[in-house]
Structure 1
């Protein structure tokens, strides 16, 4: 049932691209040296954790923590970061079920890295965890 887990991660990628259409969205990549002027998201597979198991009918409920690195650069990376995170929060609130794919979608508070200044341009990365709760009929998630 790995297909459900993969579908959820792909739907999170789509949600981010829809929330900030001009930003770049990647998957399981090293944080790039160049951050897109509109922002950069890197989605990782994360850990679905241990499922809650219901026996009748058989159902495995996963609380999948999906890490997302969010990058902002430019003259006001803090301001851009706020804008990016607000857009993601609005997109999550608008579709808590990812079109029916999950039972609930939420995000944990972001943990920002310190401002960095490689060369002359200041940039910032923030780690965000998107939490997707969904059920499968397979222990393989």
Structure 2
């Protein structure tokens, strides 16, 4: 049986997989970026939880990361559209079906990356903060 953390990350991956861009989880950047863009979900860090004792609960603000990458001549507009679609996908249900207390993305800081012999990439890491609680930091 998967942990709460894994269930939440799988739900986040499923949510971004519904977007037109190709969505991967924990993969390396492939040699070619699909025309609709590429999203790579990184598990990130759960951080130090706040703890309540009665009943015992660990409250996390887990920072997962989505690497968003586009390529092509109109990469500025494509990146803007991709980032907005991530925000819209998260806004449809900020609890991921009741798995989290709240899900919120932080603003990206995009960079242009030159590629020898090809169109430049525009990429950014978008932090997604997952607020959730569990009764066991290892298996909850």
Q: Is TM-score (shorter-chain normalized) higher than 0.5? A: yes
Once residues 66 and 5 of structure 1 are traced to their aligned partners in structure 2, the CA distance between those partners, rounded to angstroms, is 11
Q: Deviations over 1:81-101 (max 9, x none)?
A: 100111111111111000101
Aligned pair 1:44/2:42, yes or no?
A: yes
Q: Which residue of 1 aligns with 2:13?
A: 13
Structure with the larger strand share: 2
Q: What's the offset of the Cα at 1:67?
A: 1.0
User: Deviation digits for residues 16-62 of structure 1, max 9, x if unmatched?
Assistant: 112x1x31111111222211100100111100001110111111111
Q: In the alignment, what sits opposite 2:72? A: 74
Match of 1:130 among 128, 131, 135: 128
Gaps of at least 5 residues in structure 1 are: none
Q: In the TM superposition, what is the alpha-carbon distance from 1:2 to its structure 2 partner?
A: 6.3
Change (3 A) 1:52 1:2: farther
User: SS state of the match for residue 90, structure 1?
Assistant: helix
- The separation in 2 between residues aligned to 1:136 and 1:31, in whole angstroms, is 32
Any stretches of 5+ residues in structure 2 without a counterpart? none
2:31 alignment counterpart: 33
How far residue 122 of structure 1 moved from its aligned partner, in angstroms, is 2.4
> Could you tell me which residue of structure 1 aligns to residue 104 of structure 2?
106
Question: Residues of 2 paired with 1:66 and 1:120: CA distance?
Answer: 30
> TM-score, normalized by length of structure 2?
0.92
Q: Distance in 2 between matches of 1:72 and 1:87?
A: 13
**Is the partner of 1:98 in helix, strand or coil?**
coil
TM-score (norm 1): 0.92
User: How many pairs align?
Assistant: 139
**C-alpha RMSD of matched pairs (Å):** 1.5
Residue 51 of structure 2 corresponds to: 53
